[in-house]
Amino acid sequence: MDPNSPDRLLESYRDEAWLSVNNLDKSLILDYFSRSPFFIPGSKLERESGETLTSSQTTYTLRPVTELENKAGVYLIQRFENGVCVSTFTCLGGTIVQCPPLHALVGSRVGRAAVHLSAALRTLRELEEAERAVVS
Domain spanning 6-99: CATH superfamily: Mediator complex, subunit Med6 (3.10.450.580)
Output the DSSP codes for 14-36: --HHHHHHS---TTTHHHHHTTS
| Amino acid (1-letter code) at residue 108 | S
Domain boundaries, the chain: 6-99, 101-136
Whether the pTM exceeds 0.75: the reply is no
Collect all residues with Cβ–Cβ distance below 8 Å to 118 and sequence separation of at least 6.
none
61-96: per-residue pLDDT in tens?
887 676 656 666 788 888 888 877 788 888 888 888
Q: How confident is the model at residue 53 (pLDDT cuts 50, 70, 90)?
A: very low
**What is the SS3 assignment for 58-87?**
CEEEEECCHHHHHHHCEEEEEEEECCEEEE
